[in-house]
């Protein structure tokens, strides 16, 4: 049976409750919520009952323990999370502008997760797992990049697979070495999960069809473009499948892409047809936006089935 691994940041998210106001004056906040794109992704994978693990580091503080406890409760193997006695757990403050777009203040550069190394339990997990999911946000620190690239080599050498969600945040795109690291990961990717303009990140193409063709010609097996409330489109060498989004009330969009990706990768790895993987991934992304907090809207398989019945699918 396959075991899904991810490597990267664990942090907490603190959310401004009102739209429009900046952080230059006091605002009301909710949180801390467990967060970090790889953590949200793997929590959703675990909730679906799929064997999975995360390699990360947190400080020995409430923010770190909040995350480890949640991931463990949701069936994630947390043996690869080092609790660093003198370290701190990062945080992200997020606020929503009037138009619904998000602005982040990240405090992760000096947090424990920037020192991840592929040693000890982390090295064992890289040997044990058969699939690695990479989040672009994790490529901000050299030791995390090195660990991810080393894990890719180990997993690929055993015939395993790699999925990649660029998950770009303009706030960290210019971290030293980030662009080179993104290129190194895409070169090893089997399943590519961009959102909107991220489709064009690695090609010269300006329309969707050409961009997808170029990507598939490099050896990528499938591309799944996430389109927010519109839904998602799947492409491989022979098929283009579009699946509409579900009508839900959007409370907090953060985490939708991670939950979508988690469901898609889980179904795909377990041999589901892309139609079914898309359907469940759309359902998972839709449910994710209905709760405040990036991980709070993660779903079990039973919840997804009940949601699909309620949507008359």
φ/ψ of 125, rounded to 5, equals -65, -35
The answer to the question of residue 232 lying near ligand ATP (CB under 6 A) is yes
On whether the CB atoms of residues 125 and 131 are closer than 8 A, the answer is no
The answer to the question of residue 257 lying near Mg ion (CB under 5 A) is yes
Is residue 105 within a helix (H) or strand (E), and if so which, with residue range? Answer: strand 102-107
Residue 289 interaction partner, one of Mg ion, ligand ATP, none, beta carbon < 5-8 Å per kind? ligand ATP
Cis peptide before 176 (omega within 30 of 0): no
Nearest residue by C-beta to Mg ion?
257
Q: Nearer Cβ to ligand ATP, position 63 or 246?
A: 246
Q: How far is the CB of 281 from ligand ATP (least distance, A)?
A: 6
Q: Which of residues 109-148 bind ligand ATP (CB under 6 A)?
A: none
Q: How far is the CB of 272 from Mg ion (least distance, A)?
A: 22
On whether the CB atoms of residues 138 and 114 are closer than 8 A, the answer is no
**What is the sign, positive or negative, of the torsion defined by CA atoms of 172, 178, 182, 185?**
negative
The answer to the question of residue 260 lying near ligand ATP (CB under 6 A) is yes
Residue 232 interaction partner, one of ligand ATP, Mg ion, none, beta carbon < 5-8 Å per kind? ligand ATP
Q: Which of residues 69-108 bind ligand ATP (CB under 6 A)?
A: none
Q: Nearer Cβ to ligand ATP, position 145 or 286?
A: 286
The answer to the question of residue 229 lying near ligand ATP (CB under 6 A) is yes
C-alpha to C-alpha distance for 305 and 299, rounded to whole angstroms:
10
Which tokens go with 289? Answer: 């936006």
**105 CB contacts (<8 Å, ≥6 apart)?**
23, 92, 93, 171
Binding test (CB under 5 A) with Mg ion, winner from 167, 189, 243, 254: 167
Residue 255 interaction partner, one of ligand ATP, Mg ion, none, beta carbon < 5-8 Å per kind? ligand ATP
C-alpha to C-alpha distance for 278 and 193, rounded to whole angstroms:
12
On whether the CB atoms of residues 288 and 298 are closer than 8 A, the answer is yes
Q: Nearer Cβ to ligand ATP, position 248 or 308?
A: 248
C-alpha to C-alpha distance for 34 and 15, rounded to whole angstroms:
12
Binding test (CB under 6 A) with ligand ATP, winner from 75, 121, 143, 227: 227
Say how many CA atoms lie within 13 Å of 280 toward its Cβ. 24
Q: Nearer Cβ to Mg ion, position 44 or 167?
A: 167
C-alpha to C-alpha distance for 8 and 175, rounded to whole angstroms:
15
The stretch near ligand ATP (CB under 6 A) out of 67-75, 181-189, 211-219, 281-289 is 281-289
On whether the CB atoms of residues 96 and 17 are closer than 8 A, the answer is no
The answer to the question of residue 231 lying near ligand ATP (CB under 6 A) is yes
The stretch near ligand ATP (CB under 6 A) out of 127-135, 176-184, 205-213, 248-256 is 248-256
Residue 254 interaction partner, one of ligand ATP, Mg ion, none, beta carbon < 5-8 Å per kind? ligand ATP
The answer to the question of residue 234 lying near ligand ATP (CB under 6 A) is no
C-alpha to C-alpha distance for 303 and 49, rounded to whole angstroms:
12
DSSP conformation letters of 174-185: TSTTHHHHHHHH
Site for ligand ATP, rule CB under 6 A: 167, 195, 226-229, 231-232, 245-246, 248, 250, 253-258, 260, 282, 285-286, 289
Site for Mg ion, rule CB under 5 A: 167, 195, 257
């Amino acid at each position: 049976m396959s075991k899904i691994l991810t490597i990267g940041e664990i942090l907490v998210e603190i959310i401004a409750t009102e739209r429009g106001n900046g952080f230059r004056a006091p605002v009301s906040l909710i949180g801390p919520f467990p967060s970090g794109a790889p953590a949200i992704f793997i929590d959703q994978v675990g909730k679906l009952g799929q064997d999975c693990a995360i390699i990360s580091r947190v400080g020995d503080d409430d923010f770190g323990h909040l995350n480890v406890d949640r991931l463990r409760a949701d069936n994630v193997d947390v043996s690869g999370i080092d609790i660093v006695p003198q370290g701190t757990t990062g945080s992200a403050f997020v606020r929503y502008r009037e138009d619904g777009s998000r602005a982040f203040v990240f405090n992760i550069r000096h947090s424990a997760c920037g020192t991840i190394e592929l040693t000890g339990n982390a090295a064992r997990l890289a040997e044990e797992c058969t699939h690695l999911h990479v989040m672009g946000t994790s490529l901000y620190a050299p030791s995390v990049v090195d660990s991810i690239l080393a894990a890719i080599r180990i997993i690929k050498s055993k015939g395993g697979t790699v999925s990649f969600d660029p998950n770009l945040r303009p706030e960290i795109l210019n971290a030293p070495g980030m662009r080179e690291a993104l290129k190194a990961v895409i070169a090893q990717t089997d399943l590519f999960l961009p959102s909107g303009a991220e489709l064009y990140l690695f090609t010269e193409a300006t329309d969707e069809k050409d961009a997808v063709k170029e990507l598939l010609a490099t050896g990528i097996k499938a591309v799944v473009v996430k389109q927010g409330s519109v839904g998602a489109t799947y492409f491989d060498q022979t098929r283009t499948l579009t699946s509409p989004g579900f009508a839900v009330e959007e409370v907090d969009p953060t985490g939708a892409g991670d939950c979508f990706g988690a469901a898609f990768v889980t179904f795909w790895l377990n041999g589901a047809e892309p139609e079914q993987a898309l359907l469940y991934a759309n359902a998972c992304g839709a449910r994710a936006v209905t709760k405040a907090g990036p991980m709070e809207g993660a779903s079990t398989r039973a919840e997804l089935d009940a949601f699909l019945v309620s949507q008359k699918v």
